Amino acid sequence: MRAKNKNFQKNLELNKIYLDDCENIYSKLPKNTVDLTILDPPYNVGAASWDKVENYFEWLTNIIKESVRVTKETGSIYIWGMANKSNDFIRSKLWMDENINKFYFKNWIVWVHEAKIHRRPKDRYLTKHEDLLFYASKKSTFNLVRDDPPPFQLKMHAGRYDENFFIERDKLPPSQQKIFKKGLQLGSPAKSWWKGLANKSAAKIYKGFEGYKSEWVSERIINVSSNENDIVLVPFAGTGTECFCAKKLNRNFIGVERLKKHFDLSIERLKT
């Protein structure tokens, strides 16, 4: 894959993860360079040794400013966080709404994950989700995806639908053929409540740290908000899930990871 962006600097290669601080990589990127930016910064809740940043809100807003600068007007920005653990996540959302005109708030997405660690809180409900802010413009790419049909719907139409859950008109009962003249697509357009499949494809070594995002959720973001040969920027690459998925889906990518342990794992992962 090759980028068609003429402004892309020669000293920064595509389809590579850099062992560096993302702020150094931002400085090498011209404005309006990438098509999709996926931000998964430290949440600043002390969940791991790397998850603590001085002057966090100031640091995060600078990262967001740079992300807005390098993302095309036809692009999108996603920002991960946990609103229940950090007021800075909510502050950053309000700050973007007041200060960023290039992109607009589209959705507050909730990803209900299937982590196997089941803590037993004594005075509150168990938190089993993470939050995802979606910002884009009126010109941004948005490829509609659908949520899988519920079990009762699959049972009702068993043996009629194809691998994409579509039923040809001639396979519908006569009464429904009059209504669905072009066939029936089961399921519904994707909602802002995401509950993906457990990530069985990734090896345990890539998943064993705080903040891991599944391939399912990463692929959904990339499929919806980019097209083949687009450039996906991942400033906090971790063990390379988003970069791995970008490669799988025929997108170009630029990844950045400052922790050598995670960087080494991401490089090995891209070889698979």
Q: What is the mean pLDDT of each run of 10 residues along the chain (272 residues)?
A: 54 92 95 97 66 79 97 98 83 95 97 70 82 96 91 89 91 91 90 75 54 88 98 95 96 95 91 84
What is the structure's pLDDT at 218?
Answer: 96
pTM of the model: 0.86
Do 184 and 199 lie in a common domain?
Answer: no
Cα 257 from Cα 19, distance rounded (Å): 5
Do 99 and 170 lie in a common domain?
Answer: no
What is the structure's pLDDT at 1?
Answer: 56
Do 152 and 45 lie in a common domain?
Answer: no
Do 165 and 49 lie in a common domain?
Answer: no
> In the chain, what is the greatest distance between 2 CA atoms, to the nearest angstrom?
66
Do 182 and 253 lie in a common domain?
Answer: no
Angle at 128 (CA atoms; ends 122, 132), nearest 5 degrees: 135
Q: Which domain holds residue 63?
A: 16-145+190-270
Do 164 and 131 lie in a common domain?
Answer: no
Q: Is residue 124 part of a domain?
A: yes
What is the structure's pLDDT at 51?
Answer: 57
- CA torsion, points 24, 29, 33, 35, in degrees to nearest 10? -10
Q: Is residue 247 part of a domain?
A: yes
Number of independent structural domains in the chain: 2
Predicted confidence (pLDDT) per residue in 104-159, tens digit = 999 999 998 766 556 677 888 877 888 999 999 999 999 999 988 888 989 988 98
Judge whether 129 and 111 are in contact, CB under 8 Å.
Answer: yes
What is the structure's pLDDT at 22?
Answer: 95
Do 169 and 35 lie in a common domain?
Answer: no
Do 44 and 80 lie in a common domain?
Answer: yes
Cα 263 from Cα 153, distance rounded (Å): 43
What is the structure's pLDDT at 126?
Answer: 78
Cβ-based neighbours of 60, under 8 Å, separated by 6 or more: 41, 53, 88, 92
What is the structure's pLDDT at 149?
Answer: 87
Do 253 and 161 lie in a common domain?
Answer: no
Do 125 and 227 lie in a common domain?
Answer: yes
Do 200 and 84 lie in a common domain?
Answer: yes
What is the structure's pLDDT at 209?
Answer: 56
Domain CATH number, residue 106:
3.40.50.150
